[in-house]
Structure 1
Amino acid sequence: MAKVNVKMPDEFLLRLSRLGDQIDVIVPRVLEAGGNVVLEKVRGNLRTAIGKDTKYPSRTTGELVSSLGLSDAKQDRDGNYNVKVGFAEPRSDGGSNAKIANIIEYGKHGQPAKPFLKPARTASRKPCTDAMIAKLEEEIGKI
């Protein structure tokens, strides 16, 4: 049987040991910093997608954009922390914001797709990780 030993740099181990019990406080802050970057990119893409290239005048109320938000960082049953960008439900007219967002993203018969989520995910990947790294270093610096 093969055996592998991985030695971590002393500086990295020292930083981890300083975190100690603070990890449960720091991780949600770091994830929310990255989530806010993605949220702003999705919000900007959604604003440009709504009412663009339509046959008829737009009937947008702004409710879809205003329902877009970021969840709190929560830990799942596997111990992983997650934040989610999504839409609050229901709409004032009883409809579903997720349904309308899905129609805008993928289109339907007679309505072309105007993707706003997938491009936002792609475009915000690097800025999101940069924001999370900066926030983590800031939090570690406070300890």
Structure 2
Amino acid sequence: MAKCEMKLPEEFLLKISKLGSDFDSVADTVLQAGGEVVLAKVRSNLSSVVGRGTKYDSRSTGELEGALGLSPSKLNRNGNHDVKVGFAEPRSDGGSNAKLANILEYGKHGQPAKPFLKPAKTASKQACIDAMTQRLEEEVKKR
């Protein structure tokens, strides 16, 4: 059986120990701060690709852009805190926003791909880390 040992920097461990039992609530606020940065980038990328480069006039209703949002922070089955950027379901016509987003992202026969999620993830990674770091510093100073 394999064994793995991870060592965290002392400075980070001291910050976490200051939080004590408040760690879960602080983790939620830190993740929300990072999620807001990513959500803003995804939203701007989505609005730039919807209706662009089509053969016919766009039939966009704005419902896909309106359904984009950020989930509240939750514990996953592994005990980690998660926030998700995604689409509310269902659409007013009974269709799926996730299906339309997938078609936009990857394309389909006769419709070229217009990626908006993957470029947003790449472009917002450092800004997200910075926002989360700043929020963590603020929360540690409060305590």
Same fold (TM > 0.5): yes
Residue type at the aligned position of 1:34: G
TM normalised by structure 2 equals 0.91
- Listed one character per residue, the Cα deviations across residues 19-40 of structure 1 (whole Å, up to 9, x for unaligned) are 1001011000000100010000
Query: What is the aligned partner in structure 1 of residue 15 from structure 2?
Result: 15
Query: What is the aligned partner in structure 2 of residue 134 from structure 1?
Result: 134
Identity of aligned residues (%): 63
Distance 1:62 1:140, change over 3 A: same
Query: What is the aligned partner in structure 2 of residue 57 from structure 1?
Result: 57
Q: Which runs of 5+ in 1 are unaligned?
A: none
* 2:79 match: secondary structure: coil
Question: Looking at CA atoms only, which structure, 1 or 2, has the larger radius of gyration?
Answer: 1
Q: For the Cα contact (< 8 Å) 2:30–2:132, is it kept in 1?
A: yes
Q: For the Cα contact (< 8 Å) 2:105–2:115, is it kept in 1?
A: yes
* 1:57 match: secondary structure: coil
Query: What is the aligned partner in structure 2 of residue 78 from structure 1?
Result: 78
Residue type at the aligned position of 1:79: G
Residue type at the aligned position of 2:135: K
**What are the within-5 Å matches in structure 2 for residues 1-143 of structure 1?**
9=10, 11-143=11-143
Separation of aligned partners in 2, 1:67 and 1:75: 23
TM normalised by structure 1 equals 0.91
Structure 1 residue 16: deviation in Å?
Answer: 2.7
Q: For the Cα contact (< 8 Å) 2:74–2:83, is it kept in 1?
A: yes
* 1:114 match: secondary structure: coil
Q: Which runs of 5+ in 2 are unaligned?
A: none
Structure 1 residue 12: deviation in Å?
Answer: 4.4
Structure 1 residue 76: deviation in Å?
Answer: 1.3
Q: How many residues align?
A: 138
Separation of aligned partners in 1, 2:125 and 2:140: 23
Structure 1 residue 88: deviation in Å?
Answer: 0.2
Separation of aligned partners in 1, 2:8 and 2:42: 40
